[in-house]
Amino acid sequence: MDKRSAMDKQYDRSAEDLGNVVGLEHVNLQIADQITGTLFYISGLGLTRDPYLMTSVDNMWVNVGQSQFHLITGTPQRLRGRVGLVLPDREALLARLERMKKPLEGTKFAFVEHDDHVATTCPWGNTLLCYEPAPRFGRMALGMPFVEFDVPVGSADGIAKFYRSAFDTMTRIDKAKGGRAAHVSVGSGQELVFRETDAEPIPYDGHHIQVYVANFSRPHKKLLERSLITEESNEHQYRFEMISDLDSGKPLFQIEHEVRSMRHPLYARPLVNRNPAQTNRTYVSGRDAWVADAMVAEMDDPRTEARQRRFERVTRRTAAE
């Protein structure tokens, strides 16, 4: 591609923008016991227990790409909505979940296959929607692309305004089937979704989410001015739990946010992700860790496509010989 043709190509540059929230790092839920949690999150979903931190029986950190579940032993909590996951290999996922039917019998565990995802319910009633990698999730091949909450009818616009004003991040209102929803950018390929529903709300039980922000002080100032800060954790972190109308102060939705700066010691910590297909019976050296499949080329270069075609031809010819 010469310079002229490269300059002539048009891109939607706004599609690459990120707001002040740069990452959705974890969802924190209490679970009744670690053994049952291991069966569902590790054996069933194929995720990875963090090998370095929280390795006792009172808390389990579960890695999914660059995000985590924090699962504390206690009275089980229900997230008022759904957690979206991107997991490779739907058939392998379904096989693992099928094997969990007997071990998790008597709990709320269930799963249903849909056209574009697998909906599964954890032993304590939380819903997780599992998708294969797709363009809608950008380059994410393993991770947590969204957390979706059920919110009262009429609150989506106010929630979107809250995040735009307080956190300086991009938002949009979706009016498609399923009701109005506020979509809030919280990182590359990650969103918080607040979907309006007239269903009776589930009481809030204290579960929380955690996000990283680039400008740490400006959101803090706006939240503090409205008496919304609930915890001054340390120099790297604060918390709030009420999303409200910034003009009237009217509460819109309650969910605790653990807000961290990019100077937090855990920011960008490398997370271990295993290859769930690896077993002792079919062991292959060097394949213990999960490695993403090849994604789209970084640059628009016809030479890259030509090399890929040549490689595929040679590979097929070698296999035939």
226, 266 in Cβ contact below 8 A?
no
Residue 74 has a pLDDT of 98
Average pLDDT value over all residues in the chain: 91
Whether 2 is in a domain gets the answer no
Q: Structural domain tally of the chain?
A: 1
Residue 63 structure tokens = 């890695």
Whether 209 is in a domain gets the answer yes
Residue 64 sits in a domain of what CATH number?
3.10.180.10
Whether 10 is in a domain gets the answer no
Share of residues in the chain with pLDDT > 70 (%)? 88
pLDDT digits (tens, 9 = 90+) for 209-233: 999 999 999 999 999 999 999 999 9
Whether 9 is in a domain gets the answer no
134, 295 in Cβ contact below 8 A?
no
Residue 318 has pLDDT above 60, yes or no: no
Residue 11 has a pLDDT of 86
Whether 70 is in a domain gets the answer yes
- Identify the band that residue 306 occupies on the pLDDT scale cut at 50, 70 and 90: low
Whether 7 is in a domain gets the answer no
Decide: helix, strand or coil at residue 234.
strand
**Amino acid occupying residue 111:** F
179, 196 in Cβ contact below 8 A?
yes
Residue 217 has a pLDDT of 98
Residue 317 has a pLDDT of 55
> By residue range, what is the domain housing residue 216?
15-317
CA distance 160 to 309: 45
Whether 175 is in a domain gets the answer yes
Whether 40 is in a domain gets the answer yes
123, 78 in Cβ contact below 8 A?
no
pLDDT digits (tens, 9 = 90+) for 151-181: 999 999 999 999 999 999 999 999 876 679 9
Buried b (16+ CB within 10 A) or exposed e, 140-169: bbbbbbbbbbbbbeebbebbbbbbbebbbb
